[in-house]
Structure 1
Amino acid sequence: MVIRLAPTRGGFLRPFGCGWFIREYLLGKGPEGSRAIDPEQGAPQADINYEYKEALARATARERTERIISNMVVRGADITEEEAEKIYQRELKRVSRKFTHMRYHSFLMYFGVLKRLGWVKATEVTEPSTIQDNYAPAPERTYYRLTKKGIQAGDELWSNPLFTLYPEIGPSHMKKSD
């Protein structure tokens, strides 16, 4: 009997995958405690990236909190809701945003794959960018939303958009079974 060890929703180090999060976020579902948006208006890439990293931080803090509380209960402690919330808030502060893996450039590259697949597209909505003084004006922030094709793509395709875009590289990265 073969038992699949890889998680189904995220990767080995993430509680959920980036593709899943982007799809759910742009559908307006507010996944993992992120803010809900209007799916027709969409959201700028920077906002999607921020919400993804914050959602990963919350999920990581939740997992750490569960582990801590579980160990405390095994040792005989009685934990109240208030104490559990304090532990969660402490762990949330401890999660490094660098720990949540994807840097902004990597996110833009990933998002570019989604654009090439035709799963996301720019909307007519833009807004001015603001950056620090003494710099040239920044380009406007463009909002993106899911396309019909992106909505209809299944979980398997969204789990690895790069392999979907370049199916010929997928088999070279899969473990060979004996």
Structure 2
Amino acid sequence: MVMALRPNRGGFSRPFGAGWFIREYLLGNGPEGSTSIDPNRGAPQADINYEYKEALARATARERAEKIISHMVVSGADVTEEQAERIHERELKKVSRKFTRMRYHSFLVYFGVLKRLKWVEATSEVENSSIQDNYLEAPDRAYYRLTQAGREAGDDLWSNPQYALYPENGRNHQSKQTGWPHRKVRTP
């Protein structure tokens, strides 16, 4: 039996999820080459989102470069470290920073779920935001860190915080194929 290895509608999944990245980042582990932070100090939401997008871009470029290099090796070409690095850099430049479905507003909504679960909390540290140069009433940038509940939550909960927040819905809030709640999946 031959099984086709292809994605469902909506494409292949990302190399890692937002929940895993946020937890590891706020723990200070610097996941996927992101900057390490002090876990007690935390980080602003905008910085977490930026590091997440950049880490996704690096991981995607690495996967694309590995695929290109493996094709070259299979075809009999010798690939040096310098060539591999150039291929990786070229692929990194090609990756659009808008290639994921999670835009900044979606990230804020996702982060809001983490706040309602009390997995992250605002620290007392704030700093001026750049918008305050033109609009003095704009809010400051608040720093967030993991709570003890966030540290203790398991991988299964971090992989789908919406399910952790609304367990009565079960996993019915997602389409079986696309994850979009507003699309109906047609059965053949």
Length-normalised TM-score, structure 2: 0.84
What is the aligned-residue identity percentage? 73
| 1:8 aligned residue | none
Kept in 2, the 8 Å contact 1:57–1:100? The answer is: no
**Residue 161 of structure 2 is aligned to residue 136 of structure 1:** no
Question: Structure 2 matches for 1:1-178, cutoff 5 A?
Answer: 12-131=12-131, 135-137=134-136, 138-172=138-172, 173=174
Partners of 1:147 and 1:171 in 2: CA distance: 25
Q: Cα distance, 1:174 vs. partner?
A: 7.6
Partners of 2:151 and 2:94 in 1: CA distance: 35
Instruction: Note the aligned Cα RMSD (angstroms).
Output: 1.8
Q: Cα distance, 1:150 vs. partner?
A: 0.3
Partners of 1:131 and 1:85 in 2: CA distance: 38
Q: Cα distance, 1:168 vs. partner?
A: 1.9
Moved more, 142-151 or 94-103: 94-103
Partners of 2:47 and 2:101 in 1: CA distance: 17
Kept in 2, the 8 Å contact 1:60–1:95? The answer is: yes
Q: Cα distance, 1:132 vs. partner?
A: 8.2
Structure 1 segments (4+ residues) deviating >3 Å? none
Q: For residue 135 of structure 2, what is the amino acid of its counterpart?
A: A
Moved more, 76-85 or 162-171: 162-171
Unaligned runs of 5+ in 1: 6-10
Unaligned runs of 5+ in 2: 6-10, 177-188
Secondary structure of 1:99's aligned partner: coil
Partners of 1:68 and 1:27 in 2: CA distance: 34
Kept in 2, the 8 Å contact 1:61–1:91? The answer is: yes
Aligned length: 166
Q: 1:94 to 1:174 in 2, by over 3 A?
A: closer
Deviations 1:133-161 (A, max 9, x none): 6x312311000000000000000110100
Moved more, 98-107 or 55-64: 98-107
Moved more, 156-165 or 166-175: 166-175
Length-normalised TM-score, structure 1: 0.88
Deviations 1:106-142 (A, max 9, x none): 0000000000000000001111111386x31231100
Moved more, 72-81 or 106-115: 72-81
Q: 1:132 to 1:65 in 2, by over 3 A?
A: farther
Q: Cα distance, 1:30 vs. partner?
A: 0.1
Deviations 1:37-79 (A, max 9, x none): 0000000000000000000000000000000001111111100
